[in-house]
Amino acid sequence: MTVSADLDRRFRDAAATAGLLDIGFDVIDSPIGPLLVAASDRGLARISFSATFDPEETIESLARAFGPRILRSSRTIDPARRQLDEYFDGRREGFELDVDLRGVPEFTRRVLNELARVPYGRTTTYAQLAVSAGAPRAARAVGAVMNRNRIPIVLPCHRVVGTNGSLTGYAGGLDVKERLLRLEGALL
């Protein structure tokens, strides 16, 4: 007996509404491909690019970090979906979303807090970000933090480039980084 799409959706909505989930996630469409977006009751917990996410693997990793009560639930990520849609349409420059950085080490958190201040349409460098995070000699560590940013786009690691202006790297692929910067008018 196969569960109908309607019954399935009703259960998922009910589970989210009852506040029983550690994490709700869904896959959303975007101009840079499907994105897996996950959120807890504290805020956005993960955004994964299609090129790198294996849904099973992502769900397992979310379970390890946030707990096993994980369910696909479009309701949980509705605000994030709406704001991301607006961002990709060029109608939104900043996100009004809480992020859940539980389990993130203090240094990483400091760097991500500084990263969140880099304005739309601007770029900074790993070295500059290290300075503003109060660790001027830790440019490489800042690079490592960017590399493992769990909430790309909203925490805009695409705005961080090499000192010589090269794009260096991006979890979603360099073409995606370039595309995001172009969308924001940071590249001509």
Partner 1 sequence: VRFRKMMGTVPIDLPPFERFYADHRDVVLGHLLRKLGRNGAEDAFQETFLRALHAYPYRRAHPTGELPELVAEDGRAAYLELDHLASTLPPTERAAVVLRYGYDLAYDDIAVALGSSAEAARQAASSGVRRLRKGTVR
Classified as helix, coil or strand, 36 is: strand
Q: DSSP letter for 68, please.
A: S
Residue 114 token pair: 């500084």
CA distance 185 to 161: 15
Plot region of 29 (φ>0 → left; ψ -120 to 50 → alpha; else → beta): beta
d(CA 36, CA 38): 7
In terms of CB distance, is 68 or 121 closer to partner 1?
Answer: 68
Q: At its nearest, how many Å lie between partner 1 and the CB of residue 156?
A: 19
Nearer to partner 1 (CB atom), residue 115 or residue 183: 115
Q: How far is the CB of 28 from partner 1 (least distance, A)?
A: 17
Pairwise CA distance, residues 174 & 170, whole Å: 5
Query: How close are the terminal C-alpha atoms of the chain, in Å?
Result: 55
Q: How far is the CB of 144 from partner 1 (least distance, A)?
A: 5
Q: What is the DSSP letter of 157?
A: G
Q: Which residues bind partner 1 (CB under 8 A)?
A: 1-3, 7-8, 10-11, 14-15, 18, 20-22, 56, 59-60, 62-72, 102-103, 105-108, 110, 133-135, 138, 140-141, 144-145, 148
157 in catalytic set: yes
Given the residues 157, 160, 181, 183, the one annotated as active site: 157
Of 12 and 158, which has the nearer Cβ to partner 1? 12
Nearest distance, CB of residue 113 and partner 1, angstroms: 12
Judged by beta carbon, residue 25 or residue 87, the one nearer partner 1 is 25
- Among candidates 119, 123, 114, 121, which has minimal Cα distance to 164? 123
Q: Which amino acid is at 183?
A: L
Catalytic residues: 157
